[in-house]
Structure 1
Amino acid sequence: MATQHVARRHKEEVLRRLKQVPAVALLGQPQTGKTAIGRAIAAEANGIYLDCQDWETGKMLAGGGLREFAVRNAGKLIVLDEFHQQMGLLEDLSGAIDEHRREGTGNGCFLLLGYGSIRDANRADASLEGRVSCVQLNPLDVLDLSGAGEEEVEMLWLRGGLPASFAAADDASSFEIRSDLNRNILSDEIIEEGMRVGYTQLRKLSVLLAHSQGRPLNVMEICRIMTLNPRTVRKFVDGHRKRLLARALPAYYRHAKKRLKNTPKFYYRDSGLLHELLGVKTAAALKAHEMAAMSWEGFVIENILCQLPEEAAARASYYGAAGGAEVDLVIERPGIGLWAIEIKKSVKRAPSRGFHSACRDLEPARRFVVHGGSLGCYKDRNGVEHMSLPDMCREAAAAFAP
């Protein structure tokens, strides 16, 4: 497959919402392509692009400057990149939006670009509630790739969904891009989170967490190995979660027949960043690596969950009970019921006994096995639906559409 720019379907969603509301926030983890989309929209709309990390821009916008700037440029779309770097802008932004509403100057006045989740943005400043519509920009997923076959899916799994990494000329270049990004992420966290731990130790902690992929996070064991205090580890994990770099998949708890696991499972959300921490540079090395199965599990989970509305993805869980009953991913929604999903890399792998046992406990509306092949969808004699990852993503997108 020739690597090239992959158009993001999120751009059309942003344009649609800008026609309906005064302000839209495009949120996601670093390097997912927010700036590229924002610049493209600004250019097409003859708007104004501002980088809030720029010192002169920050000085101009401070102290009511945003409202004055918006008045001087009434009728133009203003794109504020890295707006989270200037959190004092949020109250100013609320006032500017209200002025536009009073003056009837129309929708599509502001586009905000920043990292974090929709829920975190809504909690950041209560004054934004009801004023800003949020769109989540995830890394590339299998539905972003036109007619994704096994080769494309394998490449996305190895390199991850960050556009620059995926579109690199070769695997070595992709690995270098991800090495630089992981280095920058740790440096930023030291500054922004006020971490009292040096870069080298945080890198070791990141690698240790990479080897915890897909497992319940044992903070005390990590502290023992790293000689760190629990507060530091939790702060680091929380910082990764807020930046959408990591996921804590909660345990399913609405079942009283058996004693259930209750510790969230830890996942790096981008498989490419995970593989850089594991030192995996090629597809052959990945398939032979001891963490390949857990890496594939996290990759599949992220691809499925990014097809769901944010509130549905936030309620996703895993099921684990005494005796080995387990489901890798549980998703549910009123009117649809509960889906139980088992994740396998091989097409030929049958569901485990633990999966069948868990399904007897949960009584799901639908049961799935997601595999890494391109074999068409079919049901086995037990009624379990077997699907490739692209097929499963299309099924989830259609069923959970707003």
Structure 2
Amino acid sequence: MQRYIERSKAGEIQKSLQNNPVTALVGPRQCGKSTLVRHILQNNKDALFLDLELPSDMRKLADAELFLGEHTRQLICIDEVQLRPDLFPLLRALIDKDRHPGRFLILGSASRDLIRQGGETLAGRIHYIELTPFTWSELQNDKSDKNRDFKKHWWRGGFPPAFLAPEDSQSDTWRRDMIQDYLSRDIPSLGFTMPIPVMSRFWKMIAHYHGCIFNASKIGQSMDISHNTVRKYLDILEQTFMVRVLPPLEINLKKRLVKSPRIYLRDSGLLHTILEIDSMTELYGHPVFGASWEGWCIEQIIASLPLWQPFFYRTSSGEEIDLVLVRGKRRLAFEIKASLTPHLSRGFADTVKALKPERAWIVCPMTDTGYPISSGARVLGIKECLKELGAI
């Protein structure tokens, strides 16, 4: 049995249950939502847990009003709620009839936008929390194992079954099965009808564009589909937490800026499996090596500051910053390099000066103590970077 690893969102969930009638925990399938909730509720003997993937639990909601109405004083947890979006109007009516905190805890493997009715009918009654697969910070804080190597997390990704597998081969097998299940079961369960081979090929195409500017027309031409279909497929991958679409930072610097987003597969382990990279040694010589490190770092940094909005910055002349986090008038800049001796472009210092970030970092796969450079940025490893972000 795999041990439990503390999750950073546990406190936010408990606080939300004390303040909101409905708490929604969303994230990709198999990221640990059910495990986290069962751990939080293990001492709550009155909590009622329904898994809508179980036919027996789905049958209990055949007359949902009757069933839920008989458990008004219990916390009701509904897993895979995206399978029953018609429940949301009923939840609203039940809450308005008897409003008190901690009535419902709903779990979904799709974003709030994809579970459309949730945002429309439960406004003012619901608090959304996104759970990612394991982050590096969570694994660093795991008291049962202090000697974790970030390269293992980078290679395998953060999905609990993949990361905690005894061997790399078992981790890879799980990721392959997860990809197949996602294509054959998860997408159809959300109401999308599309040929599995086409979606599989599209996902692999996106993996090859990992870290690149998104060009719907170019991808459409390669696959012989329209650019509108490309955008539809990308939206599905984004709304199910498989892909991150990183928007460009649009500010008035009197420079021509790139206006198309960048795309990344959010889990590095899935990226490596889709591209059929069989080992860390093979990854070092693969063309996606730098982009893989970049995408993995971006996910760790964004997860550490969830209230900040993520962007990238790039001008038409090629000046760029890989990640810019923005909150109000504050900015943080990150350049990510897969080298222990990062080489920066001649325009990097000017770009930092133009953006005027509060802090700037160059994140590389080093374990030694970081050091400052002339541009005012600091070169450091991911562990030290996340530690500094924790103080912001």
Scaled by the length of structure 1, the TM-score of the pair is 0.89
Q: Does 1:319 align with 2:318?
A: no
Residues 271, 295 of structure 1: 8 Å contact kept: yes
What's the secondary structure of 1:129's corresponding residue? coil
Q: Does 1:332 align with 2:345?
A: no
- Partners of 1:151 and 1:76 lie apart in 2 by 40
| Residue 327 of structure 1, CA deviation | 0.5
Instruction: Give 1:44's aligned amino acid.
Output: N
Match of 1:207 in 2: 204
The C-alpha deviation readout for 1:256-314, integer Å capped at 9, x for no partner, is 4111111100111111111110112321111121101011111111111112235x2xx
Instruction: Give 2:69's aligned amino acid.
Output: V
- Partners of 2:332 and 2:360 lie apart in 1 by 6
Greater Cα offset, 119-128 or 366-375 = 119-128
What RMSD over aligned residues (CA atoms) do the two structures have, in Å? 2.2
Match of 2:276 in 1: 279
Match of 2:286 in 1: 289
Match of 1:74 in 2: 72
| Residue 72 of structure 1, CA deviation | 2.0
Match of 1:244 in 2: 241
| Residue 109 of structure 1, CA deviation | 2.1
The C-alpha deviation readout for 1:335-386, integer Å capped at 9, x for no partner, is 6x22221001223214332422322332222221111112223322332122
**Aligned runs of 1:230-379 on 2, under 5 Å?**
230-310=227-307, 312=308, 315-334=309-328, 337-379=330-372
Distance 1:219 1:13, change over 3 A: same
The runs of 5 or more residues in structure 2 that have no matched partner are none
Q: Does 1:111 align with 2:105?
A: yes
Greater Cα offset, 106-115 or 164-173 = 106-115
The runs of 5 or more residues in structure 1 that have no matched partner are none
Match of 1:50 in 2: 50
Match of 1:60 in 2: 60
Greater Cα offset, 286-295 or 369-378 = 369-378
The C-alpha deviation readout for 1:196-237, integer Å capped at 9, x for no partner, is 3x2223222211110100001121111222112223221111
Match of 1:93 in 2: 91
Match of 1:221 in 2: 218
Corresponding residue to 1:142 among 136, 145, 149: 136
Q: Structure 1 or 2: larger helix share?
A: 1
Residues 42, 77 of structure 1: 8 Å contact kept: no
Residues 85, 117 of structure 2: 8 Å contact kept: no
What's the secondary structure of 2:225's corresponding residue? coil
Instruction: Give 2:355's aligned amino acid.
Output: L
| Residue 5 of structure 1, CA deviation | 4.3
**Aligned runs of 1:181-192 on 2, under 5 Å?**
181-187=178-184, 188-190=186-188, 192=190
For this pair of structures, how many residues does the alignment match? 386
Instruction: Give 1:9's aligned amino acid.
Output: S
What's the secondary structure of 1:50's corresponding residue? strand
| Residue 21 of structure 1, CA deviation | 2.3
- Partners of 2:371 and 2:15 lie apart in 1 by 36
- Partners of 2:200 and 2:72 lie apart in 1 by 47
What's the secondary structure of 1:386's corresponding residue? strand
The C-alpha deviation readout for 1:18-77, integer Å capped at 9, x for no partner, is 1222221111111110111223334321111101233343343245x2x43333223322
Instruction: Give 2:111's aligned amino acid.
Output: S
Instruction: Give 1:157's aligned amino acid.
Output: W
The C-alpha deviation readout for 1:164-218, integer Å capped at 9, x for no partner, is 100001111000100011111112325535333x222322221111010000112
Instruction: Give 1:162's aligned amino acid.
Output: F
- Partners of 2:124 and 2:44 lie apart in 1 by 24
